[in-house]
Chains A and B, each alone.
Chain A
């Protein structure tokens, strides 16, 4: 066997292995999709009969509407607030050179590397000790502890490629600090801000361990799904699971499309 042939075989093996990995990653998601169209109350494979009735039920259910509106409110507020904090956080992370920067960079990353369930519980007892009764608004705070660092990181990656000479030029031309921020810095970092917002929205929308302990009497979609998986199973579980997955994918595709458009406009 020649060297070249041996190499080709290895490469093909690696490609097959990587392809199997992608299949492995999507296998459970595809299974949920399949189960959501099953007619039976309990999922069986091969599926004896398909039906869309669980989707009709999901769309007409008031519980589902409540769950979606809670999840949506949390995700939207988390996305907006995280982007504002993350924008300034990213300037401190990547744009400015200052004395405490190395320490700051590491402090900001700590919540990402933290067991989320423990973080949720810590927040729960913290809210209780200062006399705040948990509801969906405390979940916003909880999500932000984890998501603000991620958004800061995402915008930072954009801020690293930022040329400080642009800001200096604006200063020299007599712009105020606020004008420079609004007219120079923000437009340049805009793609990072948009992808940061997208990440924040989706991560909050799908989050379970933080919501579990911090929503109080309110309930998000992932929490409800978990509760029903553990006891009182209903076929709405795969249906709602498939629906939230599809909507997340839609948001991602629309967001990505918008991002590409913006890049093109910026390049012009």
Chain B
């Protein structure tokens, strides 16, 4: 009798002991838990809800109906592809423009400016803390007829021009303006990975400036450039404020369509289906991008300076 209770006691003690040891072994998981639980409830769950709603019949507000594909059919047979195409086009134009604009600056910050590069970084970061719509509104006041640009031209040069506001160029300007840091900083990181010895060796062997750029610097800086480009592409693809504030109704972005479906249209399933397509598209890009990057190397290096 006593023998069996003893055995039982040790048997029940064992798993508890093991669990305690496992907690000791992995403080990583333990400290990750608060963030993971929070994101599960406030990030994963809403996305699952969107996913669920996208299979509900039109105009319903809960999950009690049999699933249907009608929303996806509506998306693909309707004119939504126009908004998708326009958003994709604008995002692509933004990325290409930013690549060209940022390259000399990133090169300067990584290789030429020395101590000034830190100041430059600070100067570029500070506007990020000003609400996006205040900065875009500043552009409205700058570009509007009678605003800083056209008003100044008229008063000082007597030149009377038309405003570019409320059309595609103004939206592109807004996107380029808002997402510039997201292209620039990864590019700086990328270029600083190109060591001086390598470019000098190429010059010594008789390469021209253009050859060094094309054959040495560009390929070595590619990871940083790709990260910045993809990040900018994804963020401009899902943007809303630029087209609304600077573009009037000239272009309906995909985020606009989603908002309309959810709010004015009161059609959650349709809005959800549109969101799911956008999320799957940009989510695939993000995950691909993140799987290329060695976060420990990039962030760890920043901390050791």
Are B300 and A94 within 8 A (Cβ)?
yes
| Chain B contacts for A35, CB-based, 8 A | 141
Nearest Cβ in chain A — how far from B196, in angstroms?
14
B130-161 toward A: CB 8 Å interface, digit per residue (1/0)? 11111111111110101110011001000000
Q: How far is the CA of A103 from the CA of B111 in the complex (A)?
A: 34
Q: How far is the CA of A53 from the CA of B45 in the complex (A)?
A: 48
Within B98-139, which residues are at the interface with A (CB < 8 Å)?
Answer: 101, 104-105, 107-109, 112-113, 120, 123-124, 126-127, 129-139
**Does any Cβ of A come within 8 Å of B35's Cβ?**
yes
Within B34-50, which residues are at the interface with A (CB < 8 Å)?
Answer: 34-36, 38-39, 42-43, 45-47, 49-50
**Does any Cβ of A come within 8 Å of B286's Cβ?**
yes
Query: Given the known A-B contacts A105-B295, A129-B62, are A18 and B142 also in contact in the complex, defined by CB atoms under 8 Å?
Result: no
Q: How far is the CA of A116 from the CA of B61 in the complex (A)?
A: 22
Q: How many residues of B contact A (CB 8 A)?
A: 94
Q: Which of A18, A113, A241 contacts B234 (CB 8 A)?
A: A113
| Chain B contacts for A43, CB-based, 8 A | 141, 144, 146-147
Nearest Cβ in chain B — how far from A85, in angstroms?
5
Are A206 and B132 within 8 A (Cβ)?
yes
Which stretch of B3-11, B72-80, B235-243 is in the interface?
Answer: B235-243
Are B49 and A126 within 8 A (Cβ)?
yes
Are A117 and B32 within 8 A (Cβ)?
no
Nearest Cβ in chain A — how far from B212, in angstroms?
13
**Does any Cβ of A come within 8 Å of B1's Cβ?**
no
Query: Given the known A-B contacts A43-B147, A86-B35, A145-B39, are A100 and B29 also in contact in the complex, defined by CB atoms under 8 Å?
Result: yes
**Does any Cβ of A come within 8 Å of B218's Cβ?**
no
- In this complex, the member of B29, B32, B112, B289 whose beta carbon has the largest number of chain A beta carbons within 10 angstroms is B32
**Does any Cβ of A come within 8 Å of B28's Cβ?**
yes
Within A83-129, which residues are at the interface with B (CB < 8 Å)?
Answer: 84-86, 88-89, 91-101, 104-111, 113-119, 121-126, 128-129
**Does any Cβ of A come within 8 Å of B275's Cβ?**
yes
Nearest to A248 among chain B residues (CB) is: B129
Q: A14-B112, A115-B234 known; 7 other A-B pairs, CB under 8 Å?
A: A14-B104, A25-B177, A28-B137, A29-B130, A99-B28, A205-B131, A245-B130
State the 7 A-B residue pairs at the shortest beta-carbon distance, nearest first.
A115-B238, A28-B138, A98-B28, A96-B28, A45-B151, A92-B32, A126-B46
